[in-house]
Structure 1
């Protein structure tokens, strides 16, 4: 029977074919579906011959070819001419000739090519399919790189060649025998055996991309990470490192994620060749959910000594003067929040005695915001309990509570009034109050003291809005009056949580500007300012907030650097400007209230460009506002330039400079990167100028690379 059907005839012939073949086909074999321009079926021989745009589907596999013959008795398919076989996992085999058996699970392929689900590809002189699972290629080549469109015979950026390559779909693995790794067609590395996971694998144990770095501290150093999959929810990464000047160094990271939470542990250890000292660190981050509204966890970080983390560039980040460890539990239920914390601190400063560093166990917080009343008024309640212990110095126990009420009123004229009343009560039990932590002199022995502080405030705002064809404009004058008693900071109350303070636009309209509980911003004051904004229809905008605070009289609770010790504060302002998606600008400034309007504090940040091509600049001038450390005025500038030079090449430059009297460069960085669909390499050079005990200025030159499939 021979036919040249149209589209409808295809369906008819397929149905006849399946009915005729059904009695002879084994019950376990899946049915065969064939479409073609021409079909010839010999019922006596059980042979189907199809020509022209042939498509054969069986068991989830699809075969396309110019010509296909199918023997129903032998369950054998012979295909020729532009043959392609699509597997269930997305793998496609190409050839000029194929012989397939057993439901197209097994067979022989000549001049084979293979395209995997991640667009990686391979080719071979011949290939053999076994057990519907293994594809064995001889004289094969594999790469994740696309071929050059202008010259497809040109060697890809990298490729693996092997005398015998086996792709095991069940094991999700590709194994090479006598493999050669080539770059730009040049042999680089030979190995008698190599294996890597196929593209269907998300996680597989194995070696991760190595890196090479040279700097003045380590000398030459090489890292070779090894990734180990423990089970479906956890893994371990071991990163041994060897350097010519500092010897061996080992880092380990363990991760575990479950339905109720996750945990991470990492640590490192080394023995310095110069001193023989063992140095290292340990870190853990855990977060779990007991119920939908209850979470608990821990964040712990400890180092063997003060400079280890920065000296050994652990996780490539600078660390501050203190390492904080925390164990916590939190609960949120509608408008109620409760938390219990325990804190421990490791001091990294040479000028601070470790005995003065406290342990805070426990720190308890509770906060509740109640439903608004009939007229929109709302009650709130906050409570805090803290216990701090030191091996030498002040021990403090504190209990604080605040009840407040806020009532908004919207006038018909558009004015917005908000009246606030609050009552704060604090109780302290402190031993040997330290002069450096209090506002007055030492107090020997145990002190039990407290305070009750009332405060009322009235906030007035008058937002004036004008709409035009292209933009919306806003001008909003703001005035806030606060009445609260003077004082509230007796010398028997230590200052534990309000040691550092900066007056700016973020706390201009705050009743209490101190960040913690131990210090109170007492006395009547008037805060006033204006907010102005322009919003364009195209998404651009500009916003300005500026203001000042006036006190009834000066207050020595604040340091001179904070600018709140006098009756008239400095002027504070913030300007945010973004005319479009490619430009952003933020300027925060504090100007002296004298006639010169000298700059006391200034921060500027701007970014021009896209995520791939941009210039980012920042400038900061900060006054000393710390109760403990006399850091003095600080002034610095930094910039980052990132440019996409070509489709594959990009560069990044960074510079940070101290603009103080004895300043200079703090950081210089330059990097060049090549990235395409199959390869990523970064060449970089960095110079740091930090000096801190054994941390000295360092020059680093390194290379990091990643090959697709092997990352």
Structure 2
């Protein structure tokens, strides 16, 4: 039972309802004739009380005020209705009877047949009470008694968040909790149950002789969270029972032990704390596997602080004892790639200036990569500034980067880079847009133990070297727009010429940050296609393409972009699979189709520039439907273009169906398939029931991945959440 709200109602009923009645009666002038209404300020709150009744009488000898017939008391957004309300000055007793109801400011409605309050409103009694809270949860009790001004004791109480059946309100709700006695202690902010029975569909499921939880005045308090159950080949049967510990108002700790029938014990912990100018979150886990007798685990830390409005600093740490632990134990929010990144940083942003200092450590999870060869980057410093435009709209920019890489096994490298750039746009009267760009970049390197495995053709040893990389470019665009009834059409040819010297990629310059890259429509019109600094896309080249679009009503649109790059000569800086090595590059393009809000298709492709137009890369995604009923499919045919894993090709398709079967039932089906090996990668089926009472999820998942100790597995699980308990 969510006695956090249910239990407080007794205090509200007795302490508020009757106090309003008593205060209003004590200040109304004695009358012996029918009264239509009266208003007076209350002694306690200072707010006026409006009272109406069919009959209002005052017996001065007995000290008794009595209001009868459609009695209504209103004060500060609260309204009390009753057939009769009386106040005895001699006994200091307030009573209300006959169809008593109280509407609170928050929307809670309380009903009763009889209520009385004595002892300076510290003690009271109420009979046949029921209530409807603002979240539509409801409850009832045969009677309630208030003691010592802070304790409310209910007899034969029941509580549920479920709505009653419209056709048969006498039927038991989907779930409810019954208690022989329920006590709300306001000073302890605790609600306690004795002989509590949890019923599901009117059938008793669980019994507890004693049960307690915080009342609604408590935002958070220590206690057990809902358990989670799964069944899999690896764990066999496993159950997690999290415990939440509220340390104070700014910090908490969640401990999650897991018990399984096949593996050893597992325990996870999550610590959170907020500060005036930041927050931290630490989580970790430890597992002891029975089969391998190994102790495995992970640790993660995230911290973010703000020193001033312009300066922030923090850390993101993630480490694991081994490569497959996070996937094997399904650790939440694990990275999707093959590298665990740990970072400590500081950043400053002031108008158009940005500066950052970082320290990186990496843990690679690939089987064939030794972590002794993975570098540590300390420090990595960046600075960027964009200055105010000049009289003709031109802008100057300044960028700088410094990095220091070190390995326990392999090459070390220090690099300092600075770039000065200038950009000038010009808008011709004919509608053409010209943008002239000039840049000068200078790089300085100190490297040691550079091996041929890092850069083919390099020489071993230590050296210091540098380079200067100038480039100028002119970008021309001619956007042509036409209105065609309810549609607006756009055709925009784009041509960009770039002039820069050949070279710059000497064998004594290591390649640390440009090992992997992809040529596509996003970098077709870039000065350099490499993502980092260590490789330079030099030589004269001409980039050209066309962008076409049509925009209709109701957000419907079609967009198309395609282009190619022409080099002055072939360049072996790029790999064969990159699509940029030949004089004419591959064709790249993107098509987006969205006839309306319920349909969207995105297709990205790279085609060989030969006569067959062989597909080198193809990515497609489509979404059909609404947020509750939809079908999504994604297809990818990819070729690795980095220097270490050239020509490794992957082709897969993934589809997801989500359907709202009825008002309460929904399902989700997912399937991922490897088209190269013609085998499944993932099958998932989930069924969910959600209403105002509870939320239950049943799921079954079959994985086919083989990665060292990760083998194909079938996981079946259930998650159950009761409204107002979680």
TM-score bucket of the superposed structures, by smaller chain = over 0.9
Note closer, same or farther for the CA distance 1:128–1:524 as it changes in structure 2 (3 Å cut): same
Residue 10 of structure 1 corresponds to 37
From the superposition, tell whether residues 89 and 102 of structure 1 become closer, same or farther in structure 2 (CA, over 3 Å): farther
2:137 is aligned to 120
The correspondence of residues 416-455 of structure 1 with structure 2, limited to 5 A, is 416-438=433-455, 440-455=456-471
Q: Does 1:352 align with 2:369?
A: yes
Shift of the 699–425 alpha-carbon distance from structure 1 to 2, 3 Å rule, reads same
Which string of whole-angstrom CA distances, capped at 9 and with x for unpartnered residues, describes residues 150-179 of structure 1?
Answer: 111111111111110123345443211011
- Matching of residue 142 in structure 1 with residue 142 in structure 2: no
Q: How far off its partner does 1:375 sit?
A: 0.1
Contact 1:380 1:405 in 2 (8 A): yes
Counterparts in 2 of 1:18-417, with a 5 A limit? 33-56=50-73, 62-86=79-103, 91-101=108-118, 106-315=123-332, 317=334, 319-417=336-434
How far apart, in 1, do the equivalents of 2:108 and 2:153 lie?
14
**Structure 2 residue 547 is matched with structure 1 residue 531:** yes
Q: Is 1:671 aligned to 2:686, yes or no?
A: yes
Deviation at 1:88, TM superposition (A): 7.0
Asked whether the equivalents of residues 63 and 86 of structure 1 are also in contact (C-alpha less than 8 Å), the reply is yes
Q: Which residue, 544, 547, 551 being the options, matches 2:560?
A: 544
Distance 2:398 2:45 in 1: 72
The C-alpha deviation readout for 1:95-125, integer Å capped at 9, x for no partner, is 1111134676642111111333433222111
Within 5 Å, give how 1:434-583 maps onto structure 2: 434-438=451-455, 440-583=456-599
C-alpha distance 61-626 of structure 1, shift in aligned 2 (>3 A)? same
Which deviates more from structure 2 when the two are superposed, residues 303-312 or residues 532-541?
532-541
The answer as to 2:697 corresponding to 1:697 is no
2:452/2:460 contact within 8 Å kept: no
Q: Contact (CA 8 Å) 2:475, 2:494: kept in 1 or not?
A: yes
Shift of 1:635: 0.7
**For 2:453, what is the secondary structure of its paired residue?**
helix
**Could you say if the C-alpha distance between residues 647 and 59 of structure 1 is closer, same or farther in structure 2, counting changes exceeding 3 Å?**
closer
Cα shift at 1:43 = 3.8
Which piece of structure 1 moves more, 544-553 or 502-511? 544-553
| 3-state SS of 1:573 partner | strand
Structure 1, residues 447-480: CA drift from partner, whole Å, max 9, x if none? 1111101100000011111234412221111110
- How many residue pairs were aligned? 696
Residues 319 and 471 from structure 1, CA distance in 2 versus in 1: closer, same or farther, beyond 3 angstroms?
Answer: closer
Gaps of 5+ in 2: 1-30
Whether the aligned pair in 2 keeps the contact of 1:61 and 1:104 (CA below 8 Å) is no
Against the structure 1 CA distance between its residues 467 and 502, is the aligned structure 2 distance closer, same or farther, given a 3 Å change threshold? Answer: same
Q: CA separation in 1, counterparts of 2:248 and 2:301?
A: 20
Is the CA contact (8 Å cut-off) linking 2:229 and 2:719 kept in structure 1? yes
Residue aligning to 1:686: 701
Q: CA deviation at 1:75?
A: 3.8
Q: Does 1:620 align with 2:647?
A: no
CA contact 1:197–1:709 (8 Å) conserved in 2: no
CA distance in 2, matches of 1:4, 1:536: 70
Q: CA RMSD in A?
A: 2.1
C-alpha deviation, 1:710, in angstroms? 1.7
Tell me whether 446-455 or 37-46 shows the greater mean CA deviation: 37-46
Contact 1:118 1:199 (C-alpha < 8 Å) held by counterparts = no
Is the CA contact (8 Å cut-off) linking 2:96 and 2:114 kept in structure 1?
A: yes
Deviations 1:343-386 (A, max 9, x none): 00112122112221101000000000000000000000000000
- Map of 1:586-597 to 2, 5 A cutoff? 586-597=602-613
Normalising by structure 2, we get a TM-score of 0.92
Contact kept in structure 2, 1:310 and 1:318, CA below 8 Å:
no
TM-score by length of 1: 0.94
For the residues of structure 2 that align with 1:700 and 1:194, how far apart are their CA atoms? 33
- C-alpha separation between the residues in 2 aligned to 1:535 and 1:266? 48
- Counterpart-to-counterpart distance in 1, 2:314 and 2:338: 24
The verdict on how the C-alpha distance between 1:556 and 1:287 changes in structure 2, with shifts beyond 3 A counting, is same
Q: Is the 8 A contact 2:37 2:50 kept in 1?
A: no
Distance in 2 (alpha carbons) for counterparts of 1:33 and 1:73: 24
* Cα distance in structure 2, aligned partners of 1:613 and 1:204: 38
Structure 2 CA distance, aligned partners of 1:464 and 1:104? 80
Cα separation, 2, equivalents of 1:260 and 1:351: 43
